[in-house]
Amino acid sequence: MSSYTTISWILLLQIFRLAVETGAKVPAIIVFGDSSVDAGNNNQLSTIAKSNFEPYGRDFTGGLPTGRFSNGRIATDFISQAFGIKPTIPAYLDPMYSIKDFATGVCFASAGTGYDNSTSNVLNVIPLWKQLEYLKDYQKKLRTYQGNELATSTLSEALYLISIGTNDYLENYYVFPDQSSRFTITEYQNYLVGIAGSFIREIYHLGGRKISLGSLPPMGCLPLERATNFMSGSSCRNNYNKVAMDFNAKLKGLVDQLRVELVGSKVVYSDVYDKYYEVIENPSAYGFTNVAVGCCATGSFEMGYMCDRMNPFTCTDASKYVFWDAFHPTEKMNSIMADNAMKTSLAEFV
């Protein structure tokens, strides 16, 4: 076991002990979003946005490619374990699991999706509104399984995690002319924030009270964006990072508004941008040696089916890399981000 893994487990145990001592009341983690938190729902879809093959999952328990876009676990898995619930959160569409498994945590997320319905259409994945329909279906099954009183309590005390938005810009607005010709970037940001607000209000009306809205990462620093920024020496695309920061500020403003509007709720803004950027700017402080490219294949352009086990360039030690493929973080980076969330925005629920 590496020294980092040992430290990571110690941190998780400390968080778990704190949760027990303070009587934390988070009986389940309910996840919505995109590939940053998809636990394998896309495995059941007719889409190219999949990762249920090697080398994805090579550091997951049993070396299983579960459909998570990483070499191992994703941030929501670590968060679930930190709350003392379970080490992984199953995908709702995975036929291997039932309501018994979903009662303490379930993932509705879909890689390639966004706030904007047109984003999900690009790769034929689950739109955000459909994830809400899955929540309603899940609630019915949970009430049958737990009984109405206990299920109502579970749904009220559960933590609802939302991580989405990057695809709306990098797979939609900046790629296809439909939305960019219809909206200025500021108008598009406002449009997406409006959808985010409506989505959270729907969760609230369905009984959810503990809700975390995640920010965008510094998307201009993703390996794919660096690789296509060769005219500037493959540095981060500062204009994309500026868009992310501006959008994040609007999300934070939305959360401030909802905390007042939704009586009895605890809506928090989970900032991932600052910690992400901190690691990218000072990777050696976290034990990373590679930040500009991913571990899989050449690490510059590949993700999904372009990142397969036959590629001879895939690295041997993913723990030295911030990114696993050209778009997604490694398990180690996911652990760092989860730990940061537990110490900041999610500390309110511990």
How far is 213 from 215, CA to CA, in rounded Å?
Answer: 7
Annotated active-site residue 234? The verdict is: no
Structural domain contains residue 11: no
In a domain, 7, yes or no: no
User: Mean pLDDT by 10-residue block, N- to C-terminus, for the chain (350 residues)?
Assistant: 47 44 74 98 97 97 97 98 97 98 98 98 98 98 98 98 98 96 98 98 98 98 93 89 98 98 98 98 97 95 91 94 98 98 97
| Helix ranges (DSSP H) in 51-127 | 75-82, 99-102, 117-122
Whether residue 72 contacts residue 57, with contact meaning beta carbons closer than 8 Å, is answered with: yes
Q: Which two tokens stand for residue 129?
A: 């509104």
Query: What pLDDT shows up at residue 311?
Result: 86
| Residue whose entry in the numeric block shows the structure tokens 């999952």 | 57
Query: How far apart (Å, rounded) are the C-alpha atoms in residues 195 and 179?
Result: 15
90 within some domain: yes
- Return the CATH number at 132: 3.40.50.1110
Is position 325 annotated as part of the catalytic site?
yes
Can you give the pLDDT at residue 308?
87
Q: Do the strands 105-107 and 159-163 form a parallel or antiparallel pair, or are they unpaired? A: unpaired
Is-contact 182 52, C-beta < 8 A?
Answer: no
Flag whether 91 is in a domain: yes
265 is in which domain, residue-wise?
A: 24-219+241-281+328-349
- Active-site residue, from 8, 35, 51, 345: 35
In a domain, 163, yes or no: yes
How high is the pLDDT of residue 201?
98
Give the global pTM: 0.92
User: Looking at the domain assignment, is residue 151 inside a domain?
Assistant: yes
Q: Is the residue at 18 inside a domain?
A: no
Question: Which residues does 281 contact at the CB level (< 8 Å), separation at least 6?
Answer: none
Phi first, then psi: what are they for 252, rounded to 5°? -65, -40
For Cα atoms 34, 37, 39, give the angle at the middle one, nearest 5 degrees.
105
Cα angle, residue 169 at apex, residues 293 and 93 outer, rounded to 5°: 85
Task: Give the relative orientation of helices 75-82 and 331-343 as an angle to the nearest 10 degrees.
Answer: 50
| Number of structural domains in the chain | 1
Could you tell me which of 116, 252, 262, 271 has the C-alpha nearest to residue 203?
262
The single residue of 36, 328, 335, 345 carrying the catalytic annotation is: 328
What was the pLDDT predicted at 20?
Answer: 43
Residues whose CB is less than 8 angstroms from the CB of residue 165 and which lie 6 or more positions away in sequence, other chains included: 34, 114, 115, 192, 216, 247
Q: Count of CB atoms within 10 A of residue 3's CB?
A: 8
Of 258, 280, 348, 331, nearest to 63 by C-alpha is: 331
Paired residues of 261 in beta bridges: none
Check residue 22 and give its pLDDT: 34
Is 19 a domain residue?
A: no
pLDDT at 12: 47
Q: Which of 270, 325, 335, 339 is catalytic?
A: 325
